[in-house]
Amino acid sequence: MKSICRLLIYILAITLFTTACNKKELAIPPTAVVKMTFQGYSFDDTLEVVKNNEVLATLRANSSFSVIALIAVKNDKEEVGLRKKGTTAILSTFEVNRVPFEQQKKIFFDGKTVNDKMELTPVSNPANVGFRLLFKTDFPYFYGGPVDFVIWEQTVDNNTYEYTNKKITEVKNVGNAFGDFVELPRLISTDQVSKNYIFRVYKAGTTELPYKEGVDLSAIPDFEFYYGIIDAAKAGQSALLMVGPYYYSDTMLGEGFRVEDIAYFFR
C-alpha cells in the first residue's frame, strides 16, 4: 500500500512539473516574421541593413531605393542596424516590432548621418507649392562649401520671347542637408505667357558661382541664362529637390542644372 502511495505521489509530481514546464514554454512568444519595406535615398555610399551581422537588405548609393526584407522578430521587438557596405561600424539603429506584418522605414542618408524620421512639410494652402532645396555634386571644380539659392519668378511672352525676372526669396547656407522650407503660389501659364520659378546658385554669402578658380566656363554662352527651373512640385504638395550642375568633363561646366525630386519616397 505504501509503495502504491509513493508511486501515486511520484506520478503527481511529474505531472505538475510537466504542466509547469508547458505553461512556461507557452509564455515564450513564437518567432514572428515582418515584411519591412525600406525606401528613401542614400548619398555616396551603399548601405546595408543588418541584424546580428546578417545582411537583410542592401540600399544602393546615389539613388532612390525601395527594398523589401523579411525580418524575424523573436521577442516583442528586434534591433536592426544600418552600416556602410564594406564596413562594420553601425551608423544608426532602429527597432522592429512584431506587429503589424507589413511595416515601412523611410531612410535618408546625407553621406554622414542617417535620418529615419524624414517628413515632408505640408503646404498651408492647397493652391500653393512647397519645396526644400539641396545642392549635391561630384563635379571636381565645385568649391566644396555651402551655397545660397536665389529664387525668381520668370515671365516669358510666348509671342515676342521677351522675359522678366522678379526676385522672390533666398535660401541661404545650404549644405549636405535640405534647406529651409519655401512655400509659393502655383504659377499658371497660358498660350500667351509662360511662367516658371527659376533659381540661381552662389557660393554662400556671395554672388560668385560656387566653383573653383580655373573651371572651364566656355560652354556657357550667356550667364544671364545660367539658372535652373523649379517645376517638380504639384499644387498642394511639397517637394525635396536635389540640385546639381550639368558638366561635360572634369573641368568643363555645362549649361543649367539637373533637378531631381525625391519626395515620393517620403510621402
pLDDT digits (tens, 9 = 90+) for 184-218: 999 999 999 999 999 999 999 999 999 999 999 99
Q: Which of 150, 33, 144 is nearest to 96 (CA)?
A: 33
32-115 and 128-266: same fold?
A: yes
Q: Is pLDDT of 118 > 70?
A: yes
Residue 63 banded pLDDT, cuts 50, 70, 90: confident
CA distance 267 to 265: 6
Return the pLDDT at 27.
Answer: 55
Domain locations in the chain?
A: 32-115, 128-266
pTM given for the model: 0.81
Q: Is pLDDT of 7 > 70?
A: no
Residue 14 banded pLDDT, cuts 50, 70, 90: very low
- The CA–CA distances, whole Å, from 157 to 3, 163, 183, 196 equal 111, 6, 25, 12
Domain formed by 128-266, architecture: Sandwich (2.60)
Q: Is pLDDT of 40 > 50?
A: yes
Residue 231 banded pLDDT, cuts 50, 70, 90: confident
Contacts of 164 (CB under 8 A, 6+ apart): 154, 155
Domain formed by 32-115, architecture: Sandwich (2.60)
Q: Which of 14-18, 33-37, 240-244 has the lowest mean pLDDT?
A: 14-18
150-160 pLDDT, tens per residue?
999 999 999 99
CA distance 138 to 144: 10
Q: Which amino acid is at 115?
A: N
Number of other CB atoms surrounding residue 257 within 10 Å = 20
Q: Is pLDDT of 243 > 60?
A: yes
For residues 87-115, give the mean pLDDT. 93
The answer to whether the beta carbons of residues 154 and 228 sit under 8 Å apart is: no
Residue 119 banded pLDDT, cuts 50, 70, 90: confident
The answer to whether the beta carbons of residues 107 and 38 sit under 8 Å apart is: yes
